[in-house]
A and B are shown apart, each in its own frame.
Chain A
Amino acid sequence: MEEKNKEKKSAAARYFAQLRVDTGQTWRRMKASRGLYLFLLPFMLVFTAFYVLPVIISIFYSFTYYNILEPPRWIGLQNYINLFLADDVFLTAVKNTFLIAVITGPVGYLASFVFAWLINELPRSIRAIAVTVFYAPSISGQVYLIWGILFSGDSYGYINALLMDLGITDKAIKWLTDPDYMMPVLIIVILWMSLGTGFLAFIAGLQSLDKSQIEAGYVDGIRNRWQELWYIVLPNMKPMLLFGAVMAITQSFGVADVTMALAGFPSTDYAARTVVTHLYDYGTVRFDMGYASAIATVLFFTMILCNKLIQKLLRGVGKGGDYSGGRRKK
């Protein structure tokens, strides 16, 4: 019994001794790599100040009442309770955000891949032009405001004029002020500009596929481009598909600029309010920073959670064909 105890103790002692040695080594290694830390310093300063700290501050303020003029007052979970139990508008915002995310996330993601793949089928000479055409909406700033003119609610709006000309409707539809039409129109516009960084990653991934592997596939009995897509291209694109998914999720939950610019702020019956719009409202109009921080915190954890979940899911899916292309190293 005693012996056993001794043995146990010594094991623990050994462990701690090891730990001490290890920290000593860590410290020495850190000192040796001083120059490296110096290289990281500028980035880490900015990153800490504008990414890490804000998240921490947000979480802290979400438990307080804070209106900037008075010092924050601790109110525990009250903001969260109000948010989920008393704030109808927030629930509308959550509903709209999820509707937008559930549609534009997957559709935008799929569209990014499908168009990247179709463009990759083109001859090299026109490929560059096609990439620019499809990528342009997401980089040309506020061009989406043009949709406001095209979907204008009077008979001067192009879509209305067209529909009336064709005799489909006899009076102008208020696309961006009628709650029944707002969401579909906004979703179209958001999809229009959803071919972003993920799309570029897909284009790049497809162009760097190992050609000899594809040729080998044809020798092994692959007959057409659809089989090639399924058996060779997709398994090899997994890292890009993961990256694209992260981009798509982050983008689809952060929708606000488009809805605010096109459907107005506040929109009719809050029919186009998103979580970010709600956050913006409390943060910059009502100056209830504690409440706004609670919204931001909820959004933050939702985004991270969704990302982790989808990544896990995608990793599982590709498991069957997990052989690596020649280009990618382990």
Chain B
Amino acid sequence: MAGGRNKKLGRSLGGNIVVYGILILFGAFMLMPMVYAVNSAFKPLDELFVFPPRFFVQNPTLDNFSDLETIMGQSWVPFSRYLLNTVLITVVGTAGCVIVTSMAAFVLAKFRFPGSRAIFRIVTTALMFSGYVTQIPNYLIIARLGWIDTYLAMIVPAFGMPMGLFLTKQYMENVPDVLIEAARIDGANLWQIFWRVIMPNTRPAWLTVTILSVQALWNSKAIQYIYSEDLKTLPYALQQILGGGVSRTGVGSAVTVIMMIVPVVTFILSQRQITETMASSGIKE
């Protein structure tokens, strides 16, 4: 083929045009709401309500972001409190999730013991139903534990992530047994093997768990568990702001932008590791 060795085999120019065309078309569709949100967040008031509506901003301003403090300043707690709550549950919940999930994945991936297969099978079953099914009993359980209206209600359930366990276990199976054997000969105990051998060698896996956990917790509303205003989270605040109606469109867009920056940026930064982990995600027969 004329393309030479670096070019992929069997690619025609026409086919390439089709590929690029489809991707650009649908890519624009995927991006549209995000682009709109970013544009609206920087629109001054008169541009937000111009008729006929205009998609792109012309005189960008930071008014909406400064209004955010003003609007939330009138409410019970300052905006920064919602932000702080969300950051807190995201950081603590994710740290716990990574450690708890990796520990379980480690023993399931590297040892055979009575019940190990059954446990993994049950955990995989949990991938097959969504959290809505368990919402009500979860509330009852959290109430019984006395965790209503505490951070615990938002943080502890995040520690056990079936998807995280599944992905990490599949990835950890690729860590060579020789490494573990060598550490054992050197006198390392189980915890030391886990912490010094397994964790440093499975960075892509636990980074993936980190991202998934950050995405879930950052967007967590948890309204049903929390009554105190000063424990509520950012997505809840966003809902309240948008509940204020059309006049809040600009400020609402500003919050939307803040909400989407964190998951998107963390994904961009760790994309390579995530892809590496996902490569071993397949369900084997």
Say yes or no: B10 contacts A228, CB within 8 Å: yes
Please report which residues of chain A, range 23-42, place their CB below 8 angstroms from some CB of chain B when the two chains form the complex. 26, 29-30, 33, 35-37, 39-40, 42
Which residues of chain B are near A289, meaning CB under 8 Å?
136, 140
Number of interface residues of A (CB under 8 A): 106
* Contact of A136 with B190 at beta-carbon distance under 8 Å, contacts A284-B224, A300-B133 already known: no
Say yes or no: B103 contacts A224, CB within 8 Å: no
Chain A residue nearest to B33 (CB atoms) is A146
Say yes or no: B52 contacts A165, CB within 8 Å: yes
A158 and B281 CA atoms in complex are apart in Å by 40
Chain B residue nearest to A236 (CB atoms) is B282
Say yes or no: B114 contacts A30, CB within 8 Å: yes
Which residues of chain A are near B238, meaning CB under 8 Å?
142
A125 CB, min distance to chain B CBs, angstroms: 13
Say yes or no: B111 contacts A36, CB within 8 Å: yes
A222 CB, min distance to chain B CBs, angstroms: 7
Most buried by A among B16, B263, B282: B282
Stretch binding the partner chain, chosen from B62-70, B72-80, B269-277: B269-277
Say yes or no: B52 contacts A161, CB within 8 Å: yes
**What is the size category of the interface that chain B forms with chain A?**
35 or more
A-B pairs, top 5 by smallest CB distance, nearest first, are: A239-B282, A46-B160, A254-B130, A204-B278, A140-B260
Say yes or no: A133 contacts B31, CB within 8 Å: yes
A104 at the interface (CB under 8 A from B): no
A133 and B239 CA atoms in complex are apart in Å by 25
Say yes or no: B279 contacts A299, CB within 8 Å: no
B173 CB, min distance to chain A CBs, angstroms: 8
* Contact of A296 with B136 at beta-carbon distance under 8 Å, contacts A141-B235, A147-B33, A303-B128 already known: yes
Which residues of chain A are near B137, meaning CB under 8 Å?
53-55, 57-58, 61, 293, 296
A142 and B237 CA atoms in complex are apart in Å by 12
Please report which residues of chain B, range 183-223, place their CB below 8 angstroms from some CB of chain A when the two chains form the complex. 189-190, 194, 212, 215, 218-219
A192 and B33 CA atoms in complex are apart in Å by 10
Say yes or no: B259 contacts A218, CB within 8 Å: no
Residue from the list B23, B53, B284 in contact with A118, Cβ < 8 A? B23
B84 at the interface (CB under 8 A from A): no
Which residues of chain A are near B134, meaning CB under 8 Å?
50-51, 54-55, 58, 296
Say yes or no: A128 contacts B271, CB within 8 Å: yes
Chain B residue nearest to A300 (CB atoms) is B133
A-B pairs with CB below 8 Å: how many?
294
* Contact of A205 with B264 at beta-carbon distance under 8 Å, contacts A29-B113, A54-B137, A246-B127 already known: no
A274 CB, min distance to chain B CBs, angstroms: 10
Which residues of chain A are near B55, meaning CB under 8 Å?
158
A143 and B263 CA atoms in complex are apart in Å by 12
Say yes or no: A299 contacts B27, CB within 8 Å: no
Say yes or no: B138 contacts A140, CB within 8 Å: no
Chain A residue nearest to B16 (CB atoms) is A121
Say yes or no: A137 contacts B33, CB within 8 Å: yes
A134 at the interface (CB under 8 A from B): yes
Which residues of chain A are near B53, meaning CB under 8 Å?
156-158, 161
Which residues of chain B are near A292, meaning CB under 8 Å?
136
Residue from the list B16, B32, B260, B272 in contact with A141, Cβ < 8 A? B260
Chain A residue nearest to B52 (CB atoms) is A161
Which residues of chain B are near A214, meaning CB under 8 Å?
9
A98 at the interface (CB under 8 A from B): no
Chain B residue nearest to A117 (CB atoms) is B19
Most buried by A among B22, B33, B52, B136: B136
Which residues of chain A are near B19, meaning CB under 8 Å?
118, 121-122
A6 at the interface (CB under 8 A from B): no
A296 and B103 CA atoms in complex are apart in Å by 31
